[in-house]
Structure 1
């Protein structure tokens, strides 16, 4: 009987030691899991921001590639205009009459000049409206402290009620400026703030 009591006491001591070890290990893994989940949330947010920057940069590269391609298209369009004017001149039986037909392109020249002036006028009026990049850059330069993309979007919407400014587009624009070194990004907890390069605060 004494041996059985001793054996049970040894088993109980071993079980209690294993239980304590198991509890400590469970608490350690739970702590590590919470830290990993927080790191995963931060990584997912950074991933979304980087995807937005990549889309913005790809869109700008495609726009830059399409703009030069539109210039030479206007030159071939002018060539067929002169061909019908020369064709009737060749049919006229008189020897020197085609010269009168050759004067037609001269009359068309002022129209081209007017069209060119109209294009310049239209370009000038379109150029007067600032782009979103210019608005965001001006806001960062004039700001006294870092602000979030939502705060910047709200301020720009109030200043320009005629324009539809979305927070997602503002965030992508800010990330594009950060990628170019024209803006700085800082983090306070899980929030992201942006500022101009010369206005970095101690929190950044």
Structure 2
């Protein structure tokens, strides 16, 4: 009886320590993600402000907006005066080449897949879970013109985990991600598979 009681006490203390550590890690991870979101929101606000200033300068020079996107973007009072009159001439009164190029650019922007769908498709094509760095590298190589940052990839992955589309897998101190419907290989099986591949 005494041995069973001792073993039970040790097991309880181990579980308590593990749960406490996991809770602390979870809180730290939440703080880090919140800081990244705040930084991204600040960066977005700065870009929107810069865009509004550029639109005003563009209009002050008497130029027509280069794309339909520029017409729809938020801007201060000067845009409201020209917003009801400028769009119609830019589409109908402009030369065919100018209107074609504007619509082509707008269609190209809307046709681009979102980062969420890119990451989801990338993970679905993988046979093993991938780390944030691996996913960010793959996104950067596949879409160098988009300038995808690792912090944005990590934030997107955590959002997908929250929705249940992606699963977070811990292997030691590292965190990996995979699609929810993928079968997760055990670390030992993955290492033995790697050894058989190298021997073959």
> Could you tell me the TM-score, scaled by structure 2's length?
0.50
Which of 146, 151, 157 is residue 140 of structure 2 equivalent to? 157
Which of 140, 149, 153 is residue 123 of structure 2 equivalent to? 140
Tell me whether 1:171 sits opposite 2:154 in the alignment.
yes
Higher RCO (CA < 8 A, seq sep 6+): 1
Is the CA contact 2:132–2:176 (under 8 Å) kept in the aligned structure 1? yes
Deviations 1:30-73 (A, max 9, x none): x99x86984465235422454268559979xx99xxx9x94898
Which of 111, 122, 140 is residue 93 of structure 2 equivalent to? 111
Is the CA contact 1:149–1:193 (under 8 Å) kept in the aligned structure 2? yes
Cα distance, 1:132 vs structure 2: 2.3
**Aligned to 1:198, what secondary structure does the other structure show?**
coil
**Aligned to 1:146, what secondary structure does the other structure show?**
coil
Which of 176, 182, 195 is residue 193 of structure 1 equivalent to? 176
What pairs with 1:1-204 in structure 2 (closer than 5 Å)? 38-39=21-22, 42-48=25-31, 50-51=33-34, 55=38, 70=72, 77=82, 110-111=92-93, 118-201=101-184, 203=186
**Aligned to 1:130, what secondary structure does the other structure show?**
coil
Deviations 1:113-142 (A, max 9, x none): 967655432211223443322321111111
Q: Rg: which structure is higher?
A: 1
> Could you tell me the TM-score, scaled by structure 1's length?
0.49
Is the CA contact 2:161–2:167 (under 8 Å) kept in the aligned structure 1? yes
Q: How many residues align?
A: 146
**Aligned to 2:176, what secondary structure does the other structure show?**
strand
Structure 2, gaps ≥5 residues long = 1-13, 49-68, 188-200
Q: Distance in 2 between matches of 1:172 and 1:143?
A: 20
